[in-house]
Structure 1
């Protein structure tokens, strides 16, 4: 008997639909006509044991017990899914061959592997387990996956990486939460201080940004614009480029702070001859943005529709599991396998027949084009999120589902449009010994950008932000002007100089989009140069599957709150960060761990490379907790399991 173990019932049913019939549904599994069986987990049906499972004394929180480091790790069945574990135990004993059908990511790999280990499957049977990778629940896609089974042994590094992360989260969360809660209690803060490997550095980002804003002092700075005219009466504006001699009057970002200096430049250039000292004109191409992974989709959905990350993930799960309209959504990859291009013609034709806005986009797509998205070398266990071959015509989607599906479809169709082409012109002009510059982009062919135009030919919010990061009207005026045809040595007239007085702006509060962006590109916030070098472009805090939940958790714990679109830290959140050692609140350490986890999954590092240094770090931070100040924490009531018990015991479990 072959036993297929899926991650969840919906995936199990999709697998069964592609296997021999007739079939019979049982409690917790489906029996196939050929004697094989499809069963499933219900997400994680096992969880890390609690400290008191290792030693009953650990039920009471005491500093003397810390750090708690299990010698032999234990898993325990979740109470609510214990019945399904019993079903799997019976089926595993009967099975001659097991097919692992967890979701195609680290968590999905570990989720089924840990059940197989827990049920003590024999080494021989374990060696022969096959891996079924499904990222599309529609019948043709499942059938293709069933024809392409691989050895589960190939995915053991992925499983070890997920196991290391799970245990690291337990070690860090259990020990740090207990240590700092107990120290906070001594100072009168009588509630849990939840500390996590990912959640706390993320909260630290928000708190530090808020402190920067609160402590920000605006200062004036000055630009000079030269209004120029050619001999044929064509006009444009060039911006002054201060020389090295001006450095004493500038800040670290190159802004002139001395008004008198800028005013002197204005006086000197009025009605003066200007000479074109350089002209650089290049024709450039910009390829379409890659298809989405989960984080990039969440970021764009927040920018365009103001949807939070958790909602976007939930909508994606419905589009994947319920409607089968998109491929596996918890992907961290933005590339596609080359062989997937063969399905493009059918998907585009299906989209073109829809009664939706994207149908027009599909009708203009060229299925023979192959963008840089098709790259086997950059596809791992899963690929980018794209529409499936199933039509949405007869489905009833709610407004959120329609919006997210539209974004996924548009991003996919962009791969079948030509590149955006434009001329990039840079002109340098000398006026009274000073250098002035003008830049301009002149579109030649819109290409894929036609998909991102809104009413009245305006770009949507995403493209507008990508193309113009500044909201300043003066900068917008400069970058959107048209430049006349100029040649080096040409003489112009500077009609007058214009003094532009502006004020420095405080950093912006985080939003859902920018906070997710910070998590996915954490290297920008890492201060340690060596760690920054270790991080790659796609290394970040948390994973695609966990980021939305971590942000949501900080809100539920009242560490964060929303004010409009802006995210602010609460008094409790700010006080917690101030009470913790700086290393616990910075992304450097956990960013390094995330890079190590990726290396473990790629067989470049070992399990011990994460866990060994982590245990040393935890021990040191527990010692530091006794020297930390908790004076800023508000005084709140105990959160006890019951009024009858006076021991300091909480049921809250640590998370990332």
Structure 2
């Protein structure tokens, strides 16, 4: 008898639907016509044991106990899913062969592996476990995956990598949360100060951005625009490019901060002859944006609909599991297997038949076109999020699901549209010895951009007047240039002084904070760490970023003011109190680099855990030297139980 163990019930039901009928629904599993069984976990049904499980003395938080480093790691059943573990215990004993059907990522690999190990499945049976990889819950896709089973042993490095991450998060979170909570209590803050190797650097990002805003002082800077005319009376604008001689009058961003210098340029070019010194014309094209990864979808949904990251993740899980309208949503990949291109014709036809706005997009799609998204070399454990062949007409979607499905469909259909094509022209003008530049773009083929045009909204509301600087720059950026040739004489009608103000950094929003987490390298100065972060795609994973942000709000470290995200007084004080190493993304960069090497069999489990244990010992020592004076005083409440710290599970934060 074969036993399929899925990660969750929805996946179990999808697998059963592609296997022999008729079937019988049992308590916690499905019995197939041929006697095989399909059962499931319910996410993680095991969790790392609490410190007091190793030693009863650890139930009381004391500095003398730290660091807590288990010699023999132990898991314990989660209370709410204990009954399902009991079902699996019985089934694995009966099974002749086990098929592992966890989600296609490192956490999904560990989730089922740890159950098989915990239930003491005999070594011989463990050696023969097969791996089923499912990223699309439609019956045809599942059936295809069932015909491509692999040995589960091939994925053991992925499981070891996830195990190392899980234990490392436990060590870091448990020990440092206890250490800093105890130090905070000495300063009168009688609540938990939660510390995690991802959540704390994310909080650090927000706190440092807030400090930059608070300390920002706006300053004027100046630009000069030359209003030019050709001999044929055509007019256009060019912008002054300061020379090297102007450097003493410019700031670090190469902006002119000396008004007298800019005024002098204006006076020198008024009613002066000019000529075209260079013309550069290029035919350019822009490919369609790639299909979505989860983070890319969360960022766009935050920008367009003000959806927070967790809402997007939850709605996507529903579109995947409940409605089976999209492929696996927790993907960090934006590419597709080449073999999937042939399925495009059927998906396009299905979408074209819908009574939805995207049907028009589908009618304009050419299934023969193949964008750069289809690239086997860039597909990782799972591919980009795309619509399945199932029609949305058969299900009822809520407003969140509808909007996200629209975005996913539009991004997919864009892969079957031609590139956006335009001519780029850059002109250099010399006026009174100074150089001025003008740029213009002329659209030739709209291509995929037709899908992303927003309808012009008519309104009777008065339009607020933009500043003169904004109007001038908009005029400069949107102008069309006359046909110009090198050496052509021109007349500068007049020079215009544009006064602008430096802008404070903007507070984080859901979109920009997610962008910062995925592009965290730009917040790091060390070139080696920058490289690690670029290679490992930033802070957190696709599956955990939403949970990390949500957790910081739940712990009152972050607050919302409209769309803006700010750090609370507690969040700011915590970052001030922690050693700088705990608040920067550098440590996570090294962790993720090592975890990737473990999954690729280039490093060992101990290569992460050994150095981390030494780091934790140092940070605990430093805790006693940190000042917690800025933390607000919170009176101790005897009747309330201390909030128990839990290291993150698959969809939570660390």
What range is the shorter-chain TM-score in? over 0.9
1:177 and 1:654 in contact (8 A); partners too: no
Deviation at 1:528, TM superposition (A): 2.1
Distance 1:424 1:292 in 2: 28
**2:218 aligned residue:** 218
- 2:94 counterpart of 1:101: no
Q: Which is further off, 222-231 or 448-457?
A: 448-457
Q: Which residue of 2 aligns with 1:555?
A: 553
Does the CA-based 8 Å contact 1:192-1:639 persist in structure 2? no
Q: Structure 1: how far apart are the matches of 2:225 and 2:197? A: 49
Q: Which residue is equivalent to 1:196?
A: 196
Mapped pair 1:631 → 2:624: no
Provide the rounded CA distance (Å) in 2 between the counterparts of 1:390 and 1:450.
25
* Equivalence for 1:608: 606
How many residue pairs are counted as aligned between the two chains?
A: 639
**Structure 1: distance between partners of 2:508 and 2:633:** 28
Decide whether the 8 Å contact of 1:210 with 1:509 is kept in 2: yes
Aligned-residue offset at 1:601: 2.2
Partner residue of 2:505 out of 481, 504, 507: 507
Please give the per-residue CA displacement for 1:480-518, whole angstroms capped at 9, x wherever unaligned. 111111111111111110000011000000000000011
- 1:437-516 matched pairs, under 5 angstroms: 437-456=437-456, 472-516=470-514
From 638, 644, 652, the counterpart of 2:645? 652
Per-residue displacement from partner, 1:314-341 (whole Å, max 9, x unpaired)?
1101111111100010111111111111
Flag the 1:538–1:233 CA change in 2: closer, same or farther, 3 A: farther
- Residue in 1 aligned with 2:461? none
Under a length normalisation based on structure 1, what TM-score does the superposition of the two structures give? 0.95
Distance 1:379 1:578 in 2: 41
Are the aligned partners of 1:194 and 1:654 in contact in 2 as well (CA < 8 Å)?
A: no
How far the C-alpha of 1:386 sits from its partner, in A, is 0.3
Paired position in structure 2 for 1:373: 373
Residues 1:534 and 2:527 aligned together? no
Q: For residues 620 and 639 of structure 1, do their structure 2 counterparts lie closer, same or farther at Cα, with a shift above 3 Å needed?
A: farther
Using the TM superposition, give the Cα deviation of residue 109 of structure 1 relative to its aligned residue in structure 2, in angstroms: 0.8
Say if 2:430 and 2:436, in contact at 8 Å, map to a contact too: yes
CA drift of 1:70 comes to: 1.1
Partner of 1:463: none
Per the alignment, in what secondary structure is the counterpart of residue 523 of structure 1?
A: helix
Q: Distance in 1 between matches of 2:645 and 2:611?
A: 26
CA positional deviation for 1:417: 0.1
Equivalence map 1:113-192=2 (5 Å): 113-192=113-192
Is the 2:335–2:383 Cα contact (8 Å) retained in structure 1? Answer: yes
- Deviation track 1:12-45 (CA, whole Å, cap 9, x = no partner) reads 0111111111211111111111111000001000
Q: 1:562 to 1:142 in 2, by over 3 A?
A: same
Deviation at 1:274, TM superposition (A): 1.1
Check if 1:432 corresponds to 2:425.
no
CA contact (8 A) 2:168 2:609 kept: yes
Conserved? CA contact 2:325–2:390, under 8 Å:
yes
Aligned to 1:342: 342
Aligned partner of 2:465 in structure 1 is none
Q: Cα distance 1:474–1:196, how it changes in 2: closer, same or farther (>3 A)?
A: farther
SS at match of 2:507: coil
The answer as to 2:278 corresponding to 1:278 is: yes
Decide whether aligned partners of structure 1 residues 591 and 20 sit closer, same or farther in structure 2, where only a CA change above 3 A counts: same
> Residues 532 and 589 of structure 2 are in contact (CA less than 8 Å); yes or no, is this contact kept in structure 1?
no
Alpha-carbon offset, residue 457 of structure 1: 9.9
CA offset digits 1:150-208 (Å, max 9, x no partner): 11122122211211111111011001100000111111111110001100000000000
On the 8 A contact 1:136/1:142 being kept in 2, the answer is yes
CA shift for structure 1 position 611: 1.6
Task: Give 1:461's aligned residue.
Answer: none
Q: Which runs of 5+ in 2 are unaligned?
A: 459-468, 649-653
For the residue of structure 2 that corresponds to 1:456, the secondary structure is: coil
Q: Could you tell me how far apart the structure 2 residues matched to 1:622 and 1:472 are?
A: 52
Report deviation, 1:538: 5.3
Q: 1:652 Cα shift?
A: 2.9
- Inter-partner Cα distance in structure 2 for 1:586 and 1:29: 45
Question: Aligned-pair distance for 1:473?
Answer: 4.0
Q: Distance in 2 between matches of 1:495 and 1:325?
A: 60
Aligned to 2:393, the other structure's residue is in SS state: coil
Measure the CA separation in 2 of the matches of 1:149 and 1:323.
25
Q: In structure 2, how many angstroms separate the alpha carbons of the residues matched to 1:398 and 1:572?
A: 36
1:595 positional shift: 2.7
CA RMSD of aligned residues (A): 1.5
8 Å CA contact 1:523–1:535 kept in 2: the answer is yes
Moved over 6 A (4+): none
**Distance in 2, Cα, partners of 1:652 & 1:615:** 19
CA distance in 1, matches of 2:483, 2:434: 22
> Do the aligned partners of 1:218 and 1:506 also contact (CA within 8 Å) in 2?
yes
> Could you tell me how far apart the structure 2 residues matched to 1:404 and 1:639 are?
44
Q: Secondary structure at the match of 1:496?
A: strand
Q: Structure 1: how far apart are the matches of 2:325 and 2:40?
A: 22
Q: Secondary structure at the match of 2:394?
A: coil
**Counterparts of 2:474 and 2:34, CA distance in 1:** 68
| Of 548, 573, 576, the match for 2:574 | 576
Provide the C-alpha distance between the structure 1 equivalents of 2:535 and 2:96, rounded to a whole number of angstroms.
43
Q: Secondary structure at the match of 1:535?
A: helix
